[in-house]
Chain A
Amino acid sequence: MNFENHLSRQLVKKLKLIQIGAILGAGIILMVLLGPGLVGSYMSYIIDLTLIYAIGTISISMLANYAGIWSIGHTAFLAIGAYLAANLSVRGISVEIIILLGIIISLVLGVIIGLSAGRFAALYMAILTLALGLVSNEIIGRWQSVTGGDQGITVGPAQLFFSNTPLDTNGHILITIVLVTLTFLVVTLITKGNLGRRWLAIKSQRMASMSIGLKPSLENALAFGISGAITSTAGVALAFSMMYISPEAFSIAIATNLLLCTVVGGVGSIGGALLGAMFLVLVPEMAREVQGISAYVFGIATILVLLFLPKGIVPGIAQRLKQWTNKSSSNSTSFVAATVDNLTDSDYENLSCLVENLLKPATSNLIISGLSVSFGGVRALDNVSLEVPPGSVLGLIGPNGAGKTTLLNVLSGYVKPTNVEALKLGKTDLTRLAPYGRVKQGFGRTFQHAELFDELTIEENIFLAAQQSKKFHNNSKTGTSAVDIAEKLIDNLWLRPYARLYPGEVPFGVQKVTDIARALATGAQVIVMDEPFSGLDAEERSEVRSILKAMKNAGVSILIIDHVVQEVLNIADNMVVLDFGRVLATGTPEDIKSNPKVLEAYLGSALKDGKEVLSN
């Protein structure tokens, strides 16, 4: 409840502040502009233009900061809005409908393009957006019946839906102000809400994000589409404010400047976007006389800012200020790790109870049979078969390079098997499911290096996983909300002192426990764990040990690999030993301990007669 309060309070506070700020700001600007004689027409033109481009910079900034996609072609969306406005306004269609159409068309186009490149790394996406920008130029130049070609096209009067008289210049500015206010509100809602959290998760850990059921390509496409849709509204406002549009407004040069100014102002901040837009409008205005001056200014500013204030001017300065003000009180902020006292029985009981509530007892066999994976010429896995009966723990050990992690990655769906006879959970054929589809089947995964979402706090990391699982398992047996789940996990897994910190600020052991919490929050019935004990100290190991014990008691199936063999032997019901991609031995932990082949693989062939060596 504390968590919920915290989250919602934070959300409401931030939202309210920005909302009030934006509306007030807009109102003041409005009054100043409309107040007769206070602002000259040139000044109001500049303000208008700045606000219009601010819509563009904020949507580029949102896309870059939250989804990690850098768009060099956003002028295409600007053009969609502008040419729609020009063509439809002369036919007497109202501004609202034009805006709506622009949003829809841009959203669809953005999602389609996003889907085609979203499966790639974000870098390819950037190049594809450049292509989009260039292509839009070609279309504008050639599709003369719609765009007027190089000559440009005149925009009709702006007509509101519920009014008969067209708007005048002040009315055009009003459109801009309304749009920019709405944009800031929408962007704030998106970025502070679930969508923003999902995008940040995918941006920082694409693989781990899939393990909690997110679909990176779809989310990337959505981010691109939404960002494009917002930008198209700026195009509409631009058309009505200029009353005439020509292709230069959407050239690659403008596209470049738009991105560069966003970066200079600072990505991921509304202030940065505003500053960027101001820069974009004011520099060319002030350097009208000499050709090329703005290019120098934009180019050099970009280089200097990236070298000396890599986050951009506004976030960069904010960060410096924060560091400066924190310096005096830095001793108190340096975090003292709360030591977990020795686990009491009641601690364990609570934990056990929680895990039992979260996880479903496994009902089906996990079967792998005849699995081979090759990377180039290397056979990472060679005809591996194993089985995990429901509710049992299978320990998987083997020297480095034995193919253990590859096996887990095949199970999670990150690596496609070269050859496989069967990969099934009960009757479900897993090979046909994408990683997020496997999560739906009740697959959980933890990682050797925790792979937490860097830009989300510990509590948000767990909350996001719980929220995704809510989507998958609507009728989960506990009626608790995602917030409750996260809350309980934080309390019972000793994470409370770290809940509001970011992964980079907490010890590695805490990161690993958070990773396990994330897997628990997904409500899995089969959990695949990659070296949960590695890199932990004795105390942290005992924490993980009791979590594992609770998981076992809850009846989930566990597949665990680790180099801390003793821990694995203690918890496992059955063992599989891998060596060079092949199954070397299987059996109970007792069998494995005394298996000569296993000893050889671990101690090396030079020590064939182990006893002799030991006795020397």
Chain B
Amino acid sequence: MHDLLSVIFSGLVSGSLYALLGLSIVIIFRATDVVNFAIGDIATIGVYVAISVISLGVPVVAALPITFLVAGIIGVGVERFMIRPLGPGNMFSALIITMGFGLVLQALIGTIWGYNPRPFPPIIDGNITVFGVAITYQKLLATGLAVVAMLLITALFNWTRIGLAMRASAEDHFAARMIGIKSTRVASLAWFLGCGLAGVTAFIMAAESSVSVALMAMVLFRAFAGVFLGGLTNMIGAAAGGMMIGILDNVAGSYVSASFRDTMVFAVIVVILFLRPSGILGARGGARV
């Protein structure tokens, strides 16, 4: 039992990252109906830029805001120059164009920074024992960061004018325009926030190990899995789904087989879809889709 508790706890720790990335995906989807497949690569390039800046002598602490800004600005650019020209209602073209852009970014990272993994300067040393699991301060900090980011987003969407405007626009693009909400501004902001937050996820991932082109591949898969459970239009759902995937992944990895983690996550999703086609949280299967 004690063992299970610790497994669940470490599941929550990694789950917070999936939740954060899932949230980023949902923020962008709600505002612009685009599933952004380049989100992982945009975030990764943000971290690379941050590393380069640090190596110039800027303190490590600055890496986080740099990553956030770089990823966010790239996101705004993608929306402005690749998504918007496609026009509305081109959901799949948009999805595929982000896949293409992701490919370009991967190649760019390889060309500029090389294909070998790069070390990332550690932020904090030492560890603490919680529920019998030794957890590094670094990991704790990472989880804290993810949670704080999610709380900030919640606050933004609930208590600020622009956040409310974004929610209104997500509910009904047309009606929001009628009451004077600029949909282009909402779109830009959503891409900035979404990609920026993904940058935070990438920063945390990098801080835990090292940086490589494939930094986000594993997280992205699990974030998508979480979104599957929670629904593409449901922010709380995506976050909760990410947490659940984190737990599921760790439980399956510890008790069933460590080598087939992805497979088990996938199998569970397929089974859940059979039992509850609307996702665990009952989000409608993307009514606008």
Contact = CB atoms under 8 A, between A and B. Distances in A.
Interface of A: 64, 68, 70, 72, 112-113, 115-117, 119-124, 126-128, 130-132, 134-135, 137-139, 142, 252, 256-257, 259-260, 263, 291-293, 295-296, 298-303, 306-307, 310
A121 B289 contact: yes
A134 B104 CA distance: 20
B262 interface: yes
Interface of B, secondary structure class, is: helix
B157 interface: no
Interface of B: 35, 37, 82, 85-86, 90-93, 95-97, 99-107, 110-111, 115, 217, 221, 224-225, 227-228, 232, 259-263, 266, 269-271, 273-274, 277, 285-286, 289
A296 B104 contact: yes
A214 B263 CA distance: 33
B115 A291 contact: yes
Given A292-B107, A303-B82, A252 B270 contact: no
B269 A128 contact: yes
B35 A131 contact: no
Given A120-B285, A128-B269, A306-B96, A256 B103 contact: yes
B96 A302 contact: yes
Given A123-B95, A131-B221, 11 more contacts: A119-B273, A119-B277, A120-B273, A127-B35, A128-B269, A130-B224, A131-B225, A142-B259, A256-B99, A307-B86, A307-B97
Given A120-B285, A302-B97, A303-B101, A126 B266 contact: no
Contacts of B224: 127, 130-131
A138 B100 CA distance: 24
Given A259-B99, A303-B97, A131 B92 contact: no
Contacts of A307: 82, 85-86, 97
Given A139-B260, A260-B103, A123 B96 contact: no
A259 B37 CA distance: 13
B221 A298 contact: no
A127 B289 contact: no
Contact of A306 (B37, B93, B277): B93
B205 to A, nearest CB: 17
A257 B86 CA distance: 21
A480 to B, nearest CB: 39
Nearest to A132: B266
A119 B261 CA distance: 26
A123 B286 contact: yes
B213 to A, nearest CB: 10
A113 B86 CA distance: 30
Nearest to B224: A127
B150 to A, nearest CB: 22
17 contacts: A119-B273, A121-B289, A123-B92, A124-B232, A124-B289, A126-B35, A134-B221, A135-B266, A138-B260, A139-B260, A142-B260, A256-B102, A291-B115, A292-B106, A302-B96, A302-B103, A307-B86
A208 B34 CA distance: 25
Contacts of B273: 116-117, 119-120, 128
